[in-house]
Amino acid sequence: MAKRKAYAPFSLTSEAGVAQTPVEGYIDVEQKIYPIVGTGTVNENGKWTGVKSSDSEFLGLSKAEAIPSGTDVLFPDTNTHPNIDMTGFRSIFIAIKPTNGGNYNLNAVMGPDTIRFANLEPVHAAGSLRGLTINRNIDTLDDLFLDTGEVLVNDVWNIFYIQGSLQDQKNMQFKITNASGGNSDIEFGFMRTI
């Protein structure tokens, strides 16, 4: 607690009741400063909503071993991250590390049917996420993210940034198809940004 002099529209003597004291004076004011940490609000539905922040590192690190060419695998697939919840996030980085370089198909799909989408279950697990986004044809629904021929370098993390098209998806996974022509171990991770 600190004391300081603050300007007041009256002086100490006028405060004491002496009418002829000139206006304008200074009085001692006690100031108390308290730190405030804004961690969220109560929304219009009466539910606590915390302040989102970008992930600081890659999450859902998972590995699928000896995936034959032409075979799909779903990521993430861990106990702590069986899916990706993009609620409140605008963009995502995905990282893929194959042991066999070459072509891979990447597709954002609905997450497992064991996880609800808001209040709906079961969902169409592994079905392509479809919708309308800015700068797309407004007459038809499109795949929100589908890359049918991404060349990945072996034994390094290939990192991709996907901005906007997957924001606020509540139950999502990535279906990765090995199209490299040989067996491959595939590692995966994701990092969301606001």
Domain ranges of the chain: 2-31, 53-193
Instruction: Kindly tell me if the per-residue pLDDT of 6 is higher than 70.
Output: no
CA 66 to each of CA 60, 71, 154, 158: distance values in angstroms, whole numbers, following the listed order: 19, 10, 14, 19
Neighbouring C-beta atoms of residue 123, cutoff 10 Å:
19
Instruction: Kindly tell me if the per-residue pLDDT of 190 is higher than 90.
Output: yes
Pairing of strands 130-131, 142-143: antiparallel
Q: pLDDT of 71-118, one tens digit each?
A: 999 999 899 999 999 998 999 999 999 999 999 999 999 999 999 888
Q: Which fold has domain 53-193?
A: Jelly Rolls (2.60.120)
The residues, any chain, with a CB within 8 Å of residue 88's CB and separated by 6 or more, are 52, 168, 194
